[in-house]
Amino acid sequence: MNFPDKMPTFSIKTLGCKVNQYETQLMRERLDENGFEEVSLAQEADYFIINSCTVTHKADRDTRNLINHFHRVNPAGKIIVAGCYTEMKKDRDLLYNLPGVTSFVPNREKENIAEILKAPFLPKTIKSPNTESKKSTYIKKFKGHNRAFIKIQDGCNHRCSYCKVSLVRGKSISRNEHEILKEIKKVLSVGFQEIVLTGICLGAWGYDISKETSLSNLLERISNINGNFRIRLSSIEPLYVTDRLIELVCDNKKVCKHLHIPLQSGDDKVLMKMNRPYKIKDFSRLVKKIRRRIPEVAITTDILLGFHGEDEKSFKKTIGFIKKIKPSRIHIFSYSKREGTPAANYTGALDNVAIKERMKKLSSIALFLQHDFAKKFIGKKETVLVENKRERESALLTGYTDHYVRAFLDGPDSLKNRIVTAKIIGFMGDKSAVLALP
């Protein structure tokens, strides 16, 4: 495509996980390096890029709604759909019939977005664009965030029966350690003080490189980088929470005392249908082991409600197990049929009314546990990464502690984007958040 004298413009919208957020930043920087100008979503742009997600039917619907919205506000703009919702032909065929959709960019080609858009014409689906002008494969900043998400791994070798992600992301591939360290040094040099390591199956990093390479190795090397910063793990499957990793979380001052370990169900029968590689007793033993070594650790988790075979007895088991292990936060989501997965052919999924009722019950318990965990820190000093915006309602500074408790602080703007030590003095109204004094 031949552009006029003005810089070609683009807007970009991200749906889904932290890996997608990282890949959006990578696309943004690649476009910036190649003479494109980003404009806000409210402005007209030559290109609207949607970095899509397909983990649930809602994610699919959100992409379609964005396509319709973008075409309505700017009919002349070209809509580029990137990411997971473009990986399967059936999904692409559906999307291509929507007005304004010009081209699809699969996950593996996101870093080539600039070369794709600068080509003489845009094919419907990108296969192998020219990559000669590629300047870098790492990010230098992270727009709109005060924590930098660093992608260290992609894909997943596990085959949970409900999950489409392994189908659209492929097998587990570890990113080069040198590239990861170089990227982290870049974002630290521009002022970031929290690095969030992320991946589709984060704990699998290194397994495809050598037997001696592991996430723990990488954590140690990252922590040896000079500077005042902390490292947080985004999510790690139970299989990969090793004794050595627990020791690192306990002893390394730069590693946040927080582990997000997906559970999905508190009933072995349901876990088996999900093809999850553990039983409840295994998960329970792991939680006990972690807390013996790190008593105040934040353990957060995921629960999937309404899966095939989840009867009332199964749900009560999940409730009972949650009350036993007491996670400090729970991400609750409902089962969504995904074409191409084994579970798409199962029978016995719950209806939406029943799922909503169960979600309401579990959410109430989750809120209590979140509050119960946060009160442990009253009277203690915690480190807080202060965000770059004040809370609108109270005008207070806000941020998250090492233990992933939301904190509010009264202080000057000079504290923004910094890690500060604050004393927790109480709760912030009726929220499961704490009030702190810097």
DSSP string, 337-351: --TTSGGGG---PPP
Q: Is the pLDDT of residue 213 over 70?
A: yes
Q: Is the pLDDT of residue 161 over 60?
A: yes
Q: What is the pLDDT of residue 128?
A: 46
Helix (H) or strand (E) holding 407: strand 406-409
Q: How many CB atoms within 10 Å of residue 397?
A: 25
Q: What is the pLDDT of residue 5?
A: 61
When pLDDT is cut at 50, 70 and 90, the band that residue 131 belongs to is very low
- Average pLDDT, stretch 249-272? 98
Q: Please state which architecture CATH assigns to domain 378-437.
A: Beta Barrel (2.40)
303-333 confidence digits (pLDDT tens):
999 999 999 999 999 999 999 999 999 999 9
Q: Is the pLDDT of residue 3 over 70?
A: no
Q: Is the pLDDT of residue 116 over 70?
A: yes
- Average pLDDT, stretch 226-247? 97
Q: What is the pLDDT of residue 130?
A: 45
* From-to residues of CATH 3.40.50.12160 in the chain: 9-118
Q: Is the pLDDT of residue 270 over 50?
A: yes
Superfamily of domain 148-375: tm_1862 like domain (3.80.30.20)
Over the chain, what is the mean pLDDT?
92
Q: What is the pLDDT of residue 189?
A: 95
* From-to residues of CATH 2.40.50 in the chain: 378-437
Locus of tokens 């659209």: 168
Residue type present at position 98 = L
Q: Is the pLDDT of residue 1 over 60?
A: no
- Rg (C-alpha) for the chain, rounded Å, is 22
* From-to residues of CATH 3.80.30.20 in the chain: 148-375
Helix (H) or strand (E) holding 83: strand 78-83
Q: What is the pLDDT of residue 136?
A: 53
Q: What is the pLDDT of residue 126?
A: 63
Q: What is the pLDDT of residue 243?
A: 97
- Average pLDDT, stretch 245-261? 97
Superfamily of domain 9-118: Methylthiotransferase, N-terminal domain (3.40.50.12160)
When pLDDT is cut at 50, 70 and 90, the band that residue 438 belongs to is confident
Contact assessment for residue 67 and residue 95, using Cβ atoms and an 8 Å cutoff: yes
β-bridge pairing 406-409 and 397-401 = antiparallel
Q: What is the pLDDT of residue 134?
A: 46
Q: For the chain, how far is it from start to end, CA to CA, in angstroms?
A: 54
Locus of tokens 């683009």: 10
- Average pLDDT, stretch 50-62? 96
Q: Is the pLDDT of residue 381 over 80?
A: yes
- Average pLDDT, stretch 205-221? 94
3-state secondary structure 108-148: HHHHHHHHHHHCCCCCCECCCCCCCCCCCCCCCCCCCCCCE
